[in-house]
Chains A and B, each alone.
Chain A
Amino acid sequence: MIRFNAIQIRLRVGLGLAVAAALAYAASSALAIGADSPADGKKEAAPQVAAKDEAKPAPSDAPKAAPKAAPKAKSKTKKLTGSELYAIHCNRCHPERYPTEFNSTQWKTIATHMRVRANLPAVQAKEIIKYLQEESGN
């Protein structure tokens, strides 16, 4: 039987949460400050990411339409576009939605909800929001 003194439990849980929260805050602030400083120009291997220009619903999203992998580049890191990030993230849990289903302001709200719910990196979420707003047509 596992027994703990009530005060010990509260102290341990509270202290643990406080320490973890402080670490998370410190780490996030450090990352946020570091992200604001100039890039150091470090070279990275380019990822094998195929481009996908348009989002399509699941039934028509056949493998035969899946893009071929791009050849490896030796230099410069390729930043993923909003449409590529949209293709990567936005059909993991549900069929992709048409950008024209909502207007620009609604997409900002809905995509913010998805950023929190799916725990997407902010920089990627912002690119996806920008893509959806541009493609929404209104």
Chain B
Amino acid sequence: MKFSPHLLSAAAAVCAVGATFPASAQISEEEFKALKEMVLKQGQRINQLENDHQKDQQVHDQDQRQIHTFQQQLGDAQLAVTNVAQRLDTVAQVQPVHAVPPGPPATHQFTMVGDAEIQFGKVDGSKSAFGLADFAPIFLFRGGNDVLFETGFDTRLSDNAPGTSGTSTSFTLSFAQLDYLFNDYMTVVGGYMLLPLGTYVERGAGWLNKIPDDPMSRALLPNNGAGVQLRGALPIGQSGQSLAYSLFGVNGPGSIDGSATAANLDLSKGVGFDSNGNRYNFHGSPSGGGRVGWFVPFKPHYDLEVGISGMAGPWDSSGKRIWSAVVLDAAVHISSAFELKGEFINTWYDTSDNGVTHPHGWWVQSGYKLSGLNLDLPYVNNLELVGRYDTTKDGMGGNTDRFTVGYVYYFSSTLLFEGDYEFTHGDHDQFVFQLSYGF
């Protein structure tokens, strides 16, 4: 039987107290009761202490069990780490780890840019209407540092002819070309290209042209051609000056029916295949041409560019009648507010019914941003006033002159709201509003 040390101590204390009284001493009733009460209290205290001790012991046992569990888990984790380290050693022995070669992480990259326009307009004598003018994405795929494939489309929606229902969506390929940056001075281009006759086509897009309609005289030139091109630019000094060149060979213009009558000239023909997939070229001879341009910056936003370009080649099925063009282009910027540019376009071609036909024309366009007035007004600073004069003679007696006044409001550098009124001598006047977004 186990006795609590506390109980034994209390008993000993009682005996000691009893021994101090003489044998003959008499303990009174009250003294006995007090002593009995003291002993009972001691006993209760001892019991309490024993209970507390048991509880502490239980907590201690629990802690010990938890510590034991943690030790087991730690042991397992150490074992896992050891296994992984052993596996890494094994892999490293089988496949030595090579350093990642330096350089950009992505050498091939695809991205899309382009623009979209919606219009509201009215031609004199007809009703006004909204229209989806154009959605023109450009897909760019770069393969490394020296190769770029680029292609652009124009998607337009139009009503079907009067008397028929519904609409039609036209999907036109503007260009699809492969560019190989041969060296710093020459890029080789092949495919269906925008032709460098002047600069309007190469540097134009819905959100770049400040007036929605193209200059009339641009219709005298082919915009695209299937062929090859060499192009590049030479820097002159360290001022940003440069001399740019382009040299191309393409299938060239053709004839609607193969004949050499003046009205059958087809500047959009010449992609090399017919609709049946047959290789096809009316005249079998290429056209050639090129452009040389000189760019002189005086300082940022102050610059002058002039260029001369040309193209020549046969156009009818006999291959004997030549179509030729010469274009002079110029552009000047004076401060960030003022721009003036234009082209003189001269073409001539031999025909069977009209002799040497000589369509030609020119256009000049100016723009002034009102921020140049330093008025510091919130909406005025975002406004640009634009104007253009263009004239064209078709070489068969038809002359058209047009004077256009308009504006561009820049919601941002890529969101433009344009509006213009076109006074056309020889055709109907019209007004056009256009919202353009470049992305």
Contacts and interface: CB of A to CB of B under 8 A. Distances in A.
B238 A119 contact: no
Nearest to B351: A1
Contact of A92 (B247, B331, B374, B381): B331
**Consensus secondary structure, chain B interface:** strand
Interface string A96-128: 111000101110111011011111111110000
Interface in B154-210: 179, 181-187, 189, 196, 202-203, 207-208
A28 B356 contact: no
Contact of A109 (B142, B305, B320, B376): B142
Contacts of A59: 369, 371, 381-382, 410, 412-413
B321 A2 contact: yes
Contact of A3 (B148, B231, B247, B320): B320
Nearest to B185: A28
Quick one: which of B233, B313, B321, B381 has the most chain A CB within 10 A? B233
28 contacts: A3-B321, A6-B285, A6-B320, A9-B314, A13-B288, A24-B245, A28-B182, A32-B185, A44-B238, A47-B237, A47-B238, A48-B299, A49-B300, A59-B381, A61-B301, A84-B240, A94-B208, A105-B104, A108-B109, A109-B142, A113-B148, A115-B181, A116-B187, A116-B231, A119-B233, A121-B234, A124-B235, A124-B240
Interface of B: 104-106, 109-111, 113, 138, 140-142, 148, 150, 179, 181-187, 189, 196, 202-203, 207-208, 230-235, 237-240, 242, 244-247, 249, 283-288, 290, 293, 297-301, 303, 305, 312-314, 318-322, 331, 333, 335-337, 350, 355-356, 369, 371-372, 374, 376, 381-382, 384, 410, 412-414, 438
Give 10 nearest A-B pairs by CB, closest first: A57-B413, A47-B239, A122-B184, A87-B300, A95-B413, A28-B185, A28-B186, A119-B244, A121-B235, A59-B382
